């Protein structure tokens, strides 16, 4: 036999054929187990952030929460009406600050839970999606704190007759501040909501453009309800960001639709 024949490698033992790994389909119990661990990790992140915020609780209370009430003219008078009121006040402030601080980690765990339902090409963009979601939420928080809150508190401090002294319960005050901040943060998530509704085929940019006028009316109504005054300037301050978010959502919905179409054609 020729020597070169001995060097021939049988076909079965040649270089393995490269193939994409086949993922195992998760059962309902697997999804529940995954959800449980994501919740556990989210809670751990929240606890760590809350402990950090607890260390700086005095600064958070005096500078972050109470300072806007002192900048009004005249300053708002905050009072405590129950023995444990300040304890509850501190706990709520620290917990909500911990929630905001840990929001990137919590959003990351949320997206990691959703990740198995995404297309393989989309999973590599998970870090970018988490970053964009976090930026949207924190932008809403910043807008509420630096724009909406000072304007509203100034209006509250000057509205009404001088015969009545405004003495606001600290629990009502912190509830108003935190509710305003969280609602604004959620409203600023509109682009991300539009993205996933468009990816699921529920929402289309054509639909959003067709009902743009209706959306403007709804946004103006929301601005009229949220704002303490009825002058056009104040309504514009609160409605313009929401209108911009709606236009951005149309563009993002179009992007999501194109990706969905490309995925269907590739599949």
Taking each helix axis as running N to C, give the angle between helix 149-158 and helix 170-187, from 0 to 180 degrees, rounded to the nearest 10: 140
> Would 145 be classed as within a structural domain?
yes
Tens digits of residue pLDDT in 127-142: 777 788 888 889 999 9
In whole angstroms, what is the distance from residue 249 CA to residue 11 CA?
55
Do 165 and 84 lie in one domain? The reply is yes
> Would 217 be classed as within a structural domain?
yes
Closest CA to 109 of 48, 39, 47: 39
Count how many residues are written for the chain.
Answer: 267
Distances in Å between the Cα of 64 and the Cα atoms of 81, 132, 139, 144, 239 are: 22, 25, 17, 13, 25
DSSP states along 186-253: HHTTHHHHHHHHHHTTS--HHHHHHTHHHHHHHHHHHHHHHSSS--HHHHHHHHHHHHHHHHHHHHHH
> Would 120 be classed as within a structural domain?
yes
Examine the pLDDT at 54 and tell me if it is beyond 90.
yes
> Would 80 be classed as within a structural domain?
yes
| Percentages (nearest 5) of helix, strand, coil residues in the chain | 75, 0, 20
Do 183 and 211 lie in one domain? The reply is no
Q: Phi/psi class of residue 203: alpha, beta or left (left: φ > 0; alpha: ψ in -120 to 50)? A: beta
**Structurally, how many domains does the chain consist of?**
2
pLDDT score of 24: 60
> Would 20 be classed as within a structural domain?
no
Examine the pLDDT at 12 and tell me if it is beyond 50.
no
Q: What percent of the chain has pLDDT over 90?
A: 20
Domain that holds residue 220: 189-267
Do 147 and 76 lie in one domain? The reply is yes
Mean pLDDT, the chain, whole residue set: 81
Examine the pLDDT at 71 and tell me if it is beyond 70.
yes
pLDDT bracket for residue 13 (50, 70, 90):
very low
Q: Which helix (H) or strand (E) holds 77?
A: strand 77-79
> Would 263 be classed as within a structural domain?
yes
Least confident window among 142-156, 176-190, 230-244, 248-262: 230-244
Phi and psi at 2, nearest 5°, equal -65, 145
> Would 23 be classed as within a structural domain?
no
Do 175 and 208 lie in one domain? The reply is no
Closest CA to 198 of 214, 188, 209: 209
Do 68 and 159 lie in one domain? The reply is yes
Tens digits of residue pLDDT in 186-200: 888 888 888 878 877
Do 64 and 181 lie in one domain? The reply is yes
Do 79 and 202 lie in one domain? The reply is no
pLDDT score of 99: 92
Which is more confidently placed, 170 or 3? 170
Which is more confidently placed, 221 or 5? 221
Do 110 and 239 lie in one domain? The reply is no
pLDDT score of 117: 66
Do 129 and 194 lie in one domain? The reply is no
Biggest CA pair distance of the chain? 115
Contact 94, 180 (CB under 8 A): no
Do 193 and 183 lie in one domain? The reply is no
Do 80 and 173 lie in one domain? The reply is yes
Examine the pLDDT at 9 and tell me if it is beyond 60.
no
- Coil, helix or strand at residue 219: helix
Examine the pLDDT at 225 and tell me if it is beyond 90.
no
CB-based burial label for 97 (10 Å; 0-12, 13-18, 19+) = buried
* Residues contacting 244, CB < 8 A, separation 6+: none
Domain boundary among 171, 188, 205: 188
Domain boundary among 129, 155, 188: 188
Do 61 and 174 lie in one domain? The reply is yes
> Would 13 be classed as within a structural domain?
no
C-beta neighbour count of 43 within 10 angstroms: 13
Domain boundary among 155, 188, 221: 188
């Amino acid at each position: 036999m020729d020597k070169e024949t001995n060097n021939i490698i049988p076909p079965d033992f040649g270089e393995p054929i490269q193939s994409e790994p086949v993922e195992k389909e998760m059962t309902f119990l697997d999804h529940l187990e995954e959800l449980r661990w994501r919740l556990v990790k989210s809670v751990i992140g929240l606890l760590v952030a809350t402990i950090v915020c607890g260390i700086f609780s005095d600064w958070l209370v005096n500078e972050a929460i109470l300072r806007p009430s002192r900048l009004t003219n005249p300053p708002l008078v905050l009072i405590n009406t129950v023995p444990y009121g300040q304890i509850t006040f501190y706990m709520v402030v620290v917990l909500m600050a911990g929630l905001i601080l840990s929001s990137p980690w919590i959003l990351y765990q949320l997206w990691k839970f959703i990740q198995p339902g995404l297309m393989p090409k989309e999973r590599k963009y998970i870090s970018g999606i988490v970053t964009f979601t976090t930026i949207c939420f924190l932008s809403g928080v910043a807008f509420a704190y630096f724009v909406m809150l000072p304007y509203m508190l100034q209006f509250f401090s000057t509205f009404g007759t001088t015969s009545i002294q405004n003495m606001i319960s600290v629990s009502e005050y912190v509830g108003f501040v935190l509710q305003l901040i969280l609602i604004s943060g959620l409203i600023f998530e509109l682009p991300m909501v539009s993205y996933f509704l468009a990816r699921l085929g529920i929402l289309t940019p054509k639909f959003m453009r067709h009902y743009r006028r209706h959306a403007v009316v709804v946004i103006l109504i929301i601005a009229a309800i949220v704002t303490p005054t009825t002058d056009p300037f104040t309504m514009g301050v609160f409605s313009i960001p929401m209108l911009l978010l709606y236009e951005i959502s149309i563009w993002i919905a179009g992007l999501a639709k194109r990706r969905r179409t490309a995925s269907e054609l590739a599949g």
